[in-house]
Chains A and B, each alone.
Chain A
């Protein structure tokens, strides 16, 4: 899952990046509105966190521009503005959620997961056949046995399961699992796919991840 944080306060941006990366998110940071908008327009993010009061272009304006471009990416406001009018104004500008500073990191994390939850998903856990993924605890189960994965393997599997029955192109996988600083050498995906397949097979899961030659990978429900 790849996130964009638009926040001018380096302290906040810093710990958000640290904390979220530990949670296997790929995190990009922009320190002003213009930069943030550019990133949001050129890359595909799973969620964008925006501070309201940022230089050059305000958070509200960034949010509006993103919505104007037709993107439905979940947007969360993160701001010290705390009056009722501010909250309503922010949500009406197209944000999906609003969290006030100072906030608890755990709450932010939970709210991010809520935004990433797909519509037909009752809780946070993801499923593909008998494979069960819990993003909150970073655990993967096949039937009842747990499969131990590295953070990148987990992020890759999570992305594929979230997009199950859809072909995930190599470039999209790179965009969503690795952050912006990663060079576009996509062969690293093959390496991780190999690791993943091996671990899944060892657990008895069989060949869950299928290769679509020349395009990417897919996980099918059946």
Chain B
């Protein structure tokens, strides 16, 4: 059994080298086989030793029976060594032995031998002939052990004999043959040793088969995933029937793919929008100038067309600025410099800047709420947030209306709301207002001149500063953008 274990260990170390290239299927089979091998080895060992001990117990009982027989026949006890040693006839009594005096002991009957404390033979049964039974010195109790005589296995019992004072003076050694039993035990051992590798091998092959079958859905997952490239991301892994780990794996991968597809879709939309927004003014300028130079024209006509082209180019430059800003904020390269900012001051700066535009439409700013509210934010970013929201408010407000700015404090949270009296945003479009290039009014030439990037920038800047932005709107009553600042 020990050799088997060693062998197994060796093969483990060889296998370990190939560990990284081993397939899951083989690994499962290997683990399983190792575990089962240990278990089977243990069961075999226990079985073997149990059988062995039962067999030996049988022989030990036989030895004991013989001892009792000796004592009864001679009317002796173990505490009477002197009379024992003087007792010469107990062995001669053995009639079987008498009849068969030979030089070499026959090993199919029991043997008896009397020794003194040093192991010198005092007396022995005749059937032992010239052979001597093995003696183990220094023992103080009855012991049983295996031995051989003439290359035949025997089971020996060694009983100490005392004098009347309780001192060990010699030993009575009884031996019984166990040739047949040993053959049985050896057979058993052989059966175990040969069947073990066979069982393990069969087990490995079977487990490998079963493992292969049970991980086949994984192969499917791999095959489907491999097929998936960016233009072909709309495929999904077929969900297995059983709601097991593989089902969860497939569902998780599918959910991941959904999110990726969504992101791809949005990215594609963004690229399409950006390219449209950039190409349109380019096409206008290019076309206008091309038509202009085809024929000689009046000076005034040249000036008009060039002015027109300049306007288009300015618009394009503004778009590129906003796109770059958005790209920079979205790539997280800008980290906010958070400090304590006074809301009235920040708002004051922006409203002063926007005053001329507001004046054109006769729009009034009205500030309500706490005078001295301070929040933590990046001053430059907050300025841009306010400017975008306020200029939107002006853009979408009718002439002679009021834009209300409310600063509220609830417990430790400060909220700043900007409300216009414009046409409002339909509820089904509210969720999309922060998306890039999204305009509630779908035609590009609504006269407002925006690109639909302002609110995306607001959202991104607010996220960077941990400000929550929300929007509420009522048709024909106006729209409210609320900024909720982080608590200090």
A→B interface (CB under 8 Å): 8-12, 14-16, 18-19, 22, 31-32, 53, 55, 80-82, 101-106
| B288 and A15 contact, CB distance less than 8 A | yes
Q: Which residue of B lies closest to A53 (CB)?
A: B276
* CB-contact partner of B312 in A11, A18, A101, under 8 A: A11
| B284 and A15 contact, CB distance less than 8 A | yes
**Interface flag for B272 (CB, 8 Å):** yes
* CB-contact partner of A8 in B288, B290, B308, B444, under 8 A: B444
| A19 and B290 contact, CB distance less than 8 A | yes
A31–B285 CA distance with the chains assembled, in angstroms: 19
| A22 and B294 contact, CB distance less than 8 A | yes
5 additional contacts, CB 8 Å, given A11-B287, A104-B286, A104-B290?
Answer: A9-B280, A9-B444, A19-B291, A80-B280, A105-B291
| A102 and B291 contact, CB distance less than 8 A | no
> How far, in Å, is B96 (CB) from chain A's closest CB?
108
**Interface flag for B445 (CB, 8 Å):** yes
Which residues from B are CB-within-8-Å of A82? 275
Q: Which residue of A lies closest to B289 (CB)?
A: A15
Given contacts A9-B445, A105-B287, contact A80 B279 (CB under 8 A): yes
| A101 and B279 contact, CB distance less than 8 A | yes
Given contacts A15-B291, A101-B279, A102-B282, contact A81 B272 (CB under 8 A): yes
**Interface flag for B198 (CB, 8 Å):** no
**Interface flag for B443 (CB, 8 Å):** yes
Q: Label chain B's interface by main secondary structure.
A: helix
**Interface flag for B244 (CB, 8 Å):** no
Which residues from A are CB-within-8-Å of B280? 9, 11-12, 80, 101
**Interface flag for B360 (CB, 8 Å):** no
B→A interface (CB under 8 Å): 272, 275-276, 279-288, 290-291, 294-295, 308, 312, 442-445
Which residues from A are CB-within-8-Å of B283? 9, 12, 80, 101-103
Which residues from B are CB-within-8-Å of A9? 280, 283-284, 444-445
> How far, in Å, is B61 (CB) from chain A's closest CB?
94
A106–B294 CA distance with the chains assembled, in angstroms: 10
Which residues from A are CB-within-8-Å of B294? 19, 22, 105
Q: Which residue of A lies closest to B281 (CB)?
A: A11
A-B contact pairs, 9 of them (CB 8 A): A11-B285, A12-B284, A15-B290, A15-B291, A22-B294, A22-B295, A31-B445, A102-B282, A104-B286
A44–B140 CA distance with the chains assembled, in angstroms: 131
Which residues from A are CB-within-8-Å of B291? 15, 18-19, 22, 105
> How far, in Å, is A85 (CB) from chain B's closest CB?
10
A53–B312 CA distance with the chains assembled, in angstroms: 19
Q: Which residue of A lies closest to B280 (CB)?
A: A9
A215–B272 CA distance with the chains assembled, in angstroms: 51
> How far, in Å, is B313 (CB) from chain A's closest CB?
11
| A32 and B443 contact, CB distance less than 8 A | yes
| B279 and A102 contact, CB distance less than 8 A | yes
Which residues from A are CB-within-8-Å of B275? 80, 82
> How far, in Å, is B280 (CB) from chain A's closest CB?
5
A12–B309 CA distance with the chains assembled, in angstroms: 11
A50–B442 CA distance with the chains assembled, in angstroms: 18
> How far, in Å, is B473 (CB) from chain A's closest CB?
22
A14–B288 CA distance with the chains assembled, in angstroms: 8
A19–B292 CA distance with the chains assembled, in angstroms: 8
Given contacts A18-B291, A19-B294, A22-B294, contact A11 B272 (CB under 8 A): no
> How far, in Å, is B298 (CB) from chain A's closest CB?
13
Task: Give me the 8 closest cross-chain CB pairs, A-B, nearest first.
Answer: A11-B284, A19-B291, A55-B443, A102-B283, A101-B283, A105-B290, A80-B276, A80-B279
* CB-contact partner of A16 in B272, B287, B295, B444, under 8 A: B287
Q: Which residue of A lies closest to B268 (CB)?
A: A83
Q: Which residue of B lies closest to A108 (CB)?
A: B287
Which residues from A are CB-within-8-Å of B444? 8-9
A159–B104 CA distance with the chains assembled, in angstroms: 141
Max chain B CB contacts within 10 Å: which of A10, A15, A101, A106?
A15
A14–B284 CA distance with the chains assembled, in angstroms: 9
| A11 and B279 contact, CB distance less than 8 A | no
Max chain A CB contacts within 10 Å: which of B286, B290, B308, B445?
B290
| A55 and B287 contact, CB distance less than 8 A | no
Q: Which residue of A lies closest to B290 (CB)?
A: A105
Which residues from B are CB-within-8-Å of A106? 290
Max chain B CB contacts within 10 Å: which of A12, A32, A82, A106?
A12
